[in-house]
Amino acid sequence: MSVSPFGVLGSAPVLAGLDPPYWAATLIKVGVVAVLVPTTALILGIVFLFKVMSWMQSRLGPQEAGPKGLLQLLADGAKFIQKQDIIPDAADRFVFKVAPMVVLISTFLLYVIIPAGPSVVVESLDTGVFFALAMSSVSVIGILMAGWGSANKFALMSGIRAAGQLIAYELPMVLAVVGVVIQAGTMNLNGIIAAQADFKLFGVVPFPLFLLTQFPMFLVFLAAAQAELTQPPFDMPVAESELVGGYQVEYSGFRFLFFFMGEFATAFAFAALASVLFLGGWSLPFVASNSDLYTSTAFWLIGPAVLFTKIMLVSFLIFWFRFTYPRFREDQLQKVCWKYLIPTCLVWVSFTAIAKVVW
């Protein structure tokens, strides 16, 4: 049972030796998250949605806005913000307006517990993983609100599909994480990273990733994340060729921007979770968790950089599946979840529990 040595340090950001009052610290944290969410959405959008997708399709992607087209999303964002705010006549105005914000709030809350270094985290909760999974399910309400409030049959169908799908795929996600939590012995994300850094296979061979012992769970987590983001092959709610945008179909301008940002920022957050849980987060391979490197000031830059690299790797996987596969039908989607993913999880969790006791 390893208790995280970072549990003490990580409870408040150490701001160059200053110890700000509670209100100031809260404001700073809110500001950091508010800046981080659009930035990560931007990075992911440009790199994967524009560039990598284009390369996979033998083309170049946007080239004109900014050097090699890298500022295209900024231009898109500016375009969205200055558009007219159109609300359909028959729409339920309050529900329609609030829906994108609900989705975005769940994304903001996800960023609170992601650690970019031993003490670079907005709030290091002891129920880290549990909090993350709980907050990610808030977005379901937002999608349902959007689907209902749009007064559009296509949006309604999409909202109902989304409700079924997102609630169903919560389960494999939770179960996939249970194995990791059992192996690490804590739900605190920094603690899980420390456990990975110190992990020894069979008690003998040092192996710094949970990826090996939890490989099926990694795949299940990726699949569940894909489903939670309503991305192909699980994108029935936003099936472009049937529902033409699904629950987002009546949204334009900055409300659509919220949905878009929410989708990509959540993708980033899920990739971050996957890197932390399975790939070791900000820890470098074969460096023990009590090494001095982790508490040095240089690690303020190295830690986030390492995490960012791992996030990019996982995102590449997520988006690679997105661009290659056609989409499942809704009932096939549910079948995959209930008949294949959940039994796999249950079997592996029991195996992990036994292995934890033995070794």
DSSP 111-149: GGG--SSSS--S---TTHHHHHHHHHTTHHHHHHHHHHH
Bridge partners (DSSP) listed for residue 98: none
Closer to other proteins by CB, 170 or 330: give it.
330
Asked if 60 interacts with other proteins (CB under 8 A), we say yes
Count of CB atoms situated within 10 Å of the CB of 123: 16
| Distance between CA atoms of residues 260 and 100, nearest Å | 9
Asked if 242 interacts with other proteins (CB under 8 A), we say yes
Within residues 160-179, the interface with other proteins by CB under 8 A covers 161
Closer to other proteins by CB, 56 or 346: give it.
56
Closer to other proteins by CB, 296 or 332: give it.
332
Count of CB atoms situated within 10 Å of the CB of 30: 13
Place of tokens 């996987």: 317
Q: Which stretch binds other proteins (CB under 8 A): 38-46, 131-139, 250-258, 316-324?
A: 316-324
Tell me the longest C-alpha to C-alpha distance in the chain.
67
Place of tokens 């079924």: 164
Asked if 313 interacts with other proteins (CB under 8 A), we say no
Closer to other proteins by CB, 245 or 281: give it.
245
Within residues 243-302, the interface with other proteins by CB under 8 A covers 244
Is there a contact between 239 and 327 (Cβ–Cβ < 8 Å)?
Answer: yes
Q: Which stretch binds other proteins (CB under 8 A): 20-28, 58-66, 126-134, 197-205?
A: 58-66
Closer to other proteins by CB, 234 or 251: give it.
234
Minimal distance, residue 4 CB to other proteins, in Å: 37
Asked if 95 interacts with other proteins (CB under 8 A), we say no
| Residue of the chain from 8, 15, 78, 331 that contacts other proteins (CB under 8 A) | 331
Is there a contact between 261 and 38 (Cβ–Cβ < 8 Å)?
Answer: yes
Two tokens, residue 324: 């290659």
Positive or negative CA dihedral for 356, 10, 294, 32? positive
Which region holds residue 211: left if phi is over 0, alpha if psi is between -120 and 50, else beta?
Answer: alpha
Q: Which stretch binds other proteins (CB under 8 A): 54-62, 204-212, 246-254, 264-272?
A: 54-62
Asked if 199 interacts with other proteins (CB under 8 A), we say no
Minimal distance, residue 313 CB to other proteins, in Å: 14
Closest of 100, 92, 107 to residue 143, by C-alpha? 100
Minimal distance, residue 236 CB to other proteins, in Å: 7
Strand segments, DSSP code E, in 190-289 are 200-201, 205-206
Asked if 235 interacts with other proteins (CB under 8 A), we say yes
| Distance between CA atoms of residues 137 and 106, nearest Å | 8
Q: Which stretch binds other proteins (CB under 8 A): 97-105, 268-276, 299-307, 322-330?
A: 322-330
How many residues lie near other proteins (CB under 8 A)?
Answer: 35
Asked if 232 interacts with other proteins (CB under 8 A), we say yes
Torsions phi, psi for 319 (to 5 deg): -75, -25
| Distance between CA atoms of residues 198 and 287, nearest Å | 8
Lay out the site mask for other proteins across 15-44 (x = CB under 8 A, - = otherwise).
------------------------------
Asked if 321 interacts with other proteins (CB under 8 A), we say yes
Q: Which residues bind other proteins (CB under 8 A)?
A: 52, 54-60, 63, 90, 153-154, 157, 161, 232-233, 235-236, 239-242, 244, 320-321, 323-332
